[in-house]
Amino acid sequence: MNIPPLRAFAWVAGCATVHLLTFEGVAGDKTVVTQVETVSLSDPWEFKLGIPGWIAGVWGDVGVRGRSVRVDVSPETILEHLNFTAAFNAEVRKGRFGVYADFLYLSAQSGTPTPGLVARIDLRVDQVLADLDLNWRLMEGPCGWVDVLVGVRYINLYERLGLNPNNGAIARASERFVDAATSDVGKLLDQALHGVLDGKDPALPVPPLAGGIRDRLLGAIEEAKRDPALAAAMASGDPARISAAETKVERKIARILERELSRSFSLNKWWFDPYLGVRAQFNLSRALYLKAKADIGGFSVGSRITCEAYGAVGCQITRTIYSEAGYRYLYVDYRRNGFIYNVSTGGAQVTVEIAF
pLDDT at 188 over 60: yes
Closest C-alpha to 153, from 131, 133, 181? 131
pLDDT value at residue 13: 33
pLDDT value at residue 8: 34
- The answer to whether the CB of 21 falls within 8 A of the CB of 6 is yes
pLDDT at 196 over 80: yes
pLDDT value at residue 347: 98
d(CA 20, CA 344): 54
pLDDT value at residue 27: 45
For residue 221, give the amino acid letter.
I
Express each pLDDT in 283-330 by its tens digit.
Answer: 999 999 999 999 999 999 999 999 999 999 999 999 999 999 999 999
pLDDT at 36 over 50: no
Instruction: Compute and round to an integer the Cα radius of gyration of the chain.
Output: 33
3-state secondary structure of 293: strand
d(CA 179, CA 184): 10
Question: 196: which DSSP letter?
Answer: G
Q: HEC profile for 4-23?
A: CCCEEEEEEECCEEEEEEEE
Taking all residues of the chain, what is their mean pLDDT, rounded to a whole number?
90
Question: 43: which DSSP letter?
Answer: P
Mean pLDDT confidence for 173-191 = 95
pLDDT value at residue 260: 96
Segments of the chain assigned to CATH 2.40.128.90: 45-157+271-355
pLDDT value at residue 43: 82
Mean pLDDT confidence for 230-256 = 95
Closest C-alpha to 38, from 10, 59, 13, 80? 10
pLDDT at 9 over 50: no
Which positions ≥6 away from 156 have C-beta within 8 Å? 126, 127, 128, 268, 269, 270
The CATH class given to the 45-157+271-355 domain equals mainly beta
With cut-offs at 50, 70 and 90, classify the pLDDT of residue 38.
very low
CA 9 to chain centre: 51
pLDDT at 4 over 50: no
Question: 255: which DSSP letter?
Answer: H
d(CA 170, CA 251): 10
Express each pLDDT in 56-106 by its tens digit.
Answer: 999 999 999 989 999 999 999 999 999 999 999 999 999 999 999 999 999
